Amino acid sequence: MSLKRFTREELLPLARSHPEALVDIILALQERLEQLERRVKELEGQLARNSSNSGRPPSSDGLSKPSPKSLRTPSGRPPGGQPGHPGQTLQRVKNPDHLQVHRLEACPQCGGRGLGREPALDYESRQRVAGTLHWLHVASTATLTCYGVHPKRGTEAMDALGILGACRQWVVHDHWKPYFAYAQCQHALCNEHLLRELKFLWEEEGQVWARQMSDLLLKLHRRRQKHGEFNERQFQRALKRYRNVVRRGRYRHPRLAPGQGRCAQSKAANLLDRLEDFDWSILAFLWDGRVPFTNNQAEQDIRMIKVRQKISGCFRTFRGAQIFGRIRSYLSTCRKQGRNLWQALQRAVSGAPFIPSAPPAGP
């Protein structure tokens, strides 16, 4: 919408004879100015987003890559043990107070291992196959990796790969909606993705609550690493602090009232909705020791294939992409389970590949 541009000679008579008309013009200009300011802020926010403060992949940064910046704040102390630290080294004794038996986990014949109830981490990335866009999916644990290529990204592709549909354990992901179609799984959200979004809101929009939430999540993560999973009392205390920060954000971005329908919201309001609705999934790493803080394992598993894509480009055929994914799944799993990759390839070529033990189906 364009407004008429008045000259000084036009406005002076209008102010003397029709002051109300002049007021209408000023109000219209103010409304237009607010619209343009919101649009400029939105465009500046798009330009400020990169792989360090949003879900964008590093390849989208182009030549203007952001300098590495840790989310941890410096303590001012030198690295290593501090002066006066008593140390915790356990010395060997002849007669220990307690004995703990570590049972055999790997078969000496086939090398198979019992995997327990490990959480599955899922991730997907774009891949060019036969000149068209496909999606490379990875589902992985600390000891298993499975890659799959599919023309689709959502539940159709996940059903075809057959991993999440059979999973009865934790699945750690980035809150993409199709994951929640698998109701038989327990869903945990990747906190690294949340930290990137919180970083953008704090650095680019000055949202204080976002900085407080980021600090809280990192503090809880450090405590979980140091002291182990939380008991019920500790978790309830952490949950209370978490909800207090969300409440501070709600002062600035109140939730839509029931019956308002779906309306366009700001990035901050959408993130607050997620933090409020999925608090248990976000904080699952506190009360269940099997749940990792992030799904970085899946992103690391997919990194080699992205390097291969940068060097060699796309796959010429869909079958070639499937074969490559199958080979990489085998090699990645062998590496995680401590197998010699050269020997594992020799066994595969000779018709006796290494077959890892399957984890239990779960409750």
**CA atoms of 153 and 93, how far apart (whole Å):** 57
Average pLDDT over residues 328-348: 91
Distance (Å, whole) CA 272 – CA 160: 33
d(CA 308, CA 314): 9
For residue range 18-52, what is the model confidence (pLDDT) as tens digits? 888 888 888 888 888 888 888 888 888 888 777 77
Predicted local confidence at residue 204, as pLDDT? 87
How far apart are the C-alpha atoms of 185 and 164, rounded to whole Å?
8
Residues 6+ apart with CB under 8 A from 157: 124, 135, 137, 148, 150, 151
Q: 3-state class of 272 per DSSP?
A: helix
Q: What is the pLDDT of residue 275?
A: 95
| Crossing angle of the two packed helices 191-205 and 267-277, in degrees rounded to 10 | 150
Q: Could you tell me which of 168, 194, 198 has the C-alpha nearest to residue 282?
A: 194
Residues in the chain: 363
Sorting pLDDT into bands at 50, 70 and 90, what band is 236? very high
CB atoms within 10 A of CB 132: 9
* 208 phi, psi to nearest 5 deg: -65, -40
DSSP bridge partners of 134: 127
Q: Which segments of the chain are extended strands (E)?
A: 120-129, 132-140, 145-150, 170-173, 186-189
pLDDT 10s digits, 287-315:
998 899 998 888 888 888 778 777 777 78
Task: From 58, 289, 279, 298, select the one nearest 172 (Cα to Cα).
Answer: 298
Give Cβ neighbours of residue 161 (< 8 Å, ≥ 6 apart). Answer: 137, 139, 146, 148, 150
Q: Which residue has the higher pLDDT, 279 or 1?
A: 279
